[in-house]
Amino acid sequence: MAKRTFHPVNSPLTGELTVPGDKSISHRAVIFGSLAEGTTEITHFLHGEDCLRTIDAFRAMGVQIEVNEEKIIVHGKGASALEEPSRPINLGNSGTTARLLLGVLAGLPHHFVLYGDESLSRRPMDRVTVPLRQMGAEIDGRSDGKLLPLAIRGGQLQPISFEPPVKSAQVKSCVLLAGLLADGQTVITEKTPTRNHTETMLEGFGAKLDIQGDVISINGKQALKGTNVEVPGDISSAAFFAAAAALVPGSSLLLKRVGLNPTRTGILEVLKNMGVNLTILNEEVKGGEALGDIQIDYAPLKGTIIAGDLVPRLIDELPIVALLATQAEGETRIRDAEELRYKETDRIAAVTNTLKALGATVKPTEDGMIIQGKTPLRGGNTDSFGDHRIGMMAAIASLITEGEVTLTNPDCINISYPAFFNHLEKVTAVHS
Ligand code: S3P
């Protein structure tokens, strides 16, 4: 297994970065573009492994998709033109591809077989197969459709009224997509808000949704129209460098054109609560999605509490927040985050083990962690556990450790941030 060794930096990080395109928005742009009639041009697309899986899935259904470094062009012909693939679809490591795609396939009169890598094959799919079966899709698979590989035969769907049993945008989006292809009105009640890119972007592709408080209704059989999407920078990727600047005394970093959709900006609130000096510049709204530049200046950190409705607004940032907490004055508590256990790896276990290996004092709980602050970190051996966000957390930790940090399986970082090591070198370069 590949390994990479990082050396601590003892001087401030400076400069500016344009982080890669948002993963959630990149997936959705390809999915909606493939369902739409007409051309969709996507700029600042995330060329990470997960999003390339989504492209591969729609190509397998006959959609012509041109992939260039600066632009993706999807030639949509409408949902009814999607064909039965002649081969099983490989979802790789991508939970978003799996859950959102299943919502689409449920509404198509074809047979599909889906499989993924070892990590994805452990992740729960019943959260989507249960409502899709209720709508009329035929699904078979391991553990009665709980786990990949799965076979699905879609077709005529009935609408449902659905309250997701877990706080998950993937589940909400899956049912919204199935609802878009069903006959009649599908209604979703979401007690805890999760990222709303599916709603904002479906509207951008011409669909009508009715959103009243926590109730989202969608009428089926609406045609989507191709459109252009400029993908904002991924706040979940930006968070790693925001944290880097917040950890290394004297740092000052500018993160450019980062997505600032309020359902995703929980991390900015937490950074501010922890004492980080953070300013938003050049804010604008494009295609229904807010974006702007984030200026981060180092300031001493203090502990915080993260719980309740805030959690889905920063679920992917909790590993890096845990690292920050090890350097904050006082204790940090993360609660209501049991969903961390169902990510690319069990992130409560992986974060705890990684930070402990570096000398931190972290206690895992059923639904979160308790982290003691102001603990000097030493070097050590870490493992990404095949999880891109755990790998990036370990690499950022190495900026402040006493000795070297070795990371086993760093390549999984390509899933969401192929330029991560280049960017890390760029902001630390002047000092090495
Ligand atoms: C995503 C939703 C989140 C997030 C994932 C991307 C999406 O998962 O962790 O990285 O694009 O909808 P859940 O909705 O399962 O929490």
Cα 228 to middle of ligand 1, angstroms? 23
Cα 335 to middle of ligand 1, angstroms? 18
Domains 3-21+234-431 and 23-149+156-219 share a fold: yes
Query: In the sheet where 37-43 sits, what is the strand order?
Result: 64-67, 71-77, 37-43, 229-230
Q: How far apart, in whole angstroms, are the C-alpha atoms of residue 321 and residue 326? A: 9
Beta strands in 220-306 (DSSP E): 229-230, 252-259, 277-286, 289-297, 305-306
Among the atoms of ligand 1, which is closest to the Cα of residue 236?
10
Among the atoms of ligand 1, which is closest to the Cα of residue 28?
11
Instruction: Write down the pLDDT at residue 430.
Output: 57
Ligand 1 binding pocket includes 339 (Cβ within 6 Å): yes
Q: How far apart, in whole angstroms, are the C-alpha atoms of residue 338 and residue 29? A: 29
CATH number of the 23-149+156-219 domain: 3.65.10.10
Ligand 1 binding pocket includes 316 (Cβ within 6 Å): yes
Cα 170 to middle of ligand 1, angstroms? 5
3-state secondary structure (DSSP) of residue 14: strand
Q: What is the mean pLDDT of residues 20-31?
A: 98
Fold of 3-21+234-431: UDP-n-acetylglucosamine1-carboxyvinyl-transferase; Chain (3.65.10)
Residue ranges of alpha helices (H) inside 301-386 are: 318-325, 347-357
Ligand 1 binding pocket includes 93 (Cβ within 6 Å): no
Q: To test the ligand 1 pocket, which listed residue (27, 99, 195, 311) has its Cβ within 8 A of the most ligand atoms?
A: 195
For ligand 1, atom 13: residue with the closest CA = 168
Cα 12 to middle of ligand 1, angstroms? 33
- In this prediction, residue 429 has a pLDDT band, given cuts at 50, 70 and 90, of confident
For residue 410, pLDDT over 90 is answered with yes
Ligand 1 binding pocket includes 169 (Cβ within 6 Å): yes
* Span 336-369, pLDDT tens digits: 999 999 999 999 999 999 999 999 999 999 999 9
Q: Rounded mean pLDDT of the chain?
A: 97
Ligand 1 binding pocket includes 237 (Cβ within 6 Å): no
* Span 284-297, pLDDT tens digits: 999 889 999 999 99
The ranges assigned to domains in the chain are 3-21+234-431, 23-149+156-219
Cα 135 to middle of ligand 1, angstroms? 22
Beta strands in 321-403 (DSSP E): 331-334, 362-365, 368-372, 380-383
* Span 297-308, pLDDT tens digits: 999 999 999 999
Instruction: Write down the pLDDT at residue 10.
Output: 74
Q: Which residues neighbour 348 within 8 Å (Cβ) at sequence distance 6 or greater?
A: 337, 340, 341, 364, 365, 368, 369
